[in-house]
């Protein structure tokens, strides 16, 4: 973890989540960070800014066998993210988008440590990435 911080829980629509993922994967600026997501998949191509993400899905059963479902524009999703990102850090959110969120009690580093010790051994699926 590069710095201490807190996690927040945001309840956002599928269309907002899709826009966040599209923005994070479509940057023409090196200053914009790529979003690192867990439980979400996107299909992206080499189109121009704003058109790279062609599909999105989420893992509906994250602690069991995977079951991927398409993101539904009108469905509301609970998304955990660093407060830094929720407040516009790394420009992953569009500048005009203000997310309503609730702070999760505890520091992010402590929560990550708790998660890691609870779910050891952690064996991430890399989906044929090298």
Cα distances (Å, whole numbers) of residue 32 to 64, 79, 93:
33, 20, 10
Nearest CA-CA partner of 21 in 67, 65, 52: 52
pTM of the model: 0.67
Q: What is the pLDDT of residue 114?
A: 80
Kindly report the CATH class assigned to 6-118: alpha beta
Tell me, what's the pLDDT at 21?
78
pLDDT of 46: 62
pLDDT of residue 128: 57
pLDDT averaged over the chain? Answer: 73
- Please give the order of strands across the beta sheet that includes 101-107: 76-82, 6-13, 101-107
Residues with pLDDT less than 50, the chain: none
Phi-psi region of 128 (alpha: psi -120 to 50; beta: other; left: phi over 0): left
Between CA 86 and CA 81 the distance in angstroms is 7
List 25's β-bridge partners, or say none.
none
Q: 27 is written with which tokens?
A: 């940057």
């Amino acid at each position: 973890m590069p710095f201490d911080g807190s996690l927040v829980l945001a309840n956002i629509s599928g269309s907002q989540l899709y826009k966040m993922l599209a923005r994070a994967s479509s940057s023409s600026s090196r200053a914009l960070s790529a979003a690192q997501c867990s439980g979400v998949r996107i299909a992206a191509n080499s189109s121009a800014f704003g058109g790279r993400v062609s599909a999105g899905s989420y893992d509906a059963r994250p602690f069991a066998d995977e079951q991927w479902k398409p993101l539904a524009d009108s469905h509301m999703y609970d998304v955990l993210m660093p407060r830094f990102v929720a407040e516009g850090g790394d420009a992953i959110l569009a500048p005009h988008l203000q997310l309503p969120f609730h702070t999760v009690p505890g520091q992010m580093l402590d929560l990550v440590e708790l998660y890691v010790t609870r779910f050891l051994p952690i064996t991430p699926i890399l989906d044929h990435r090298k």
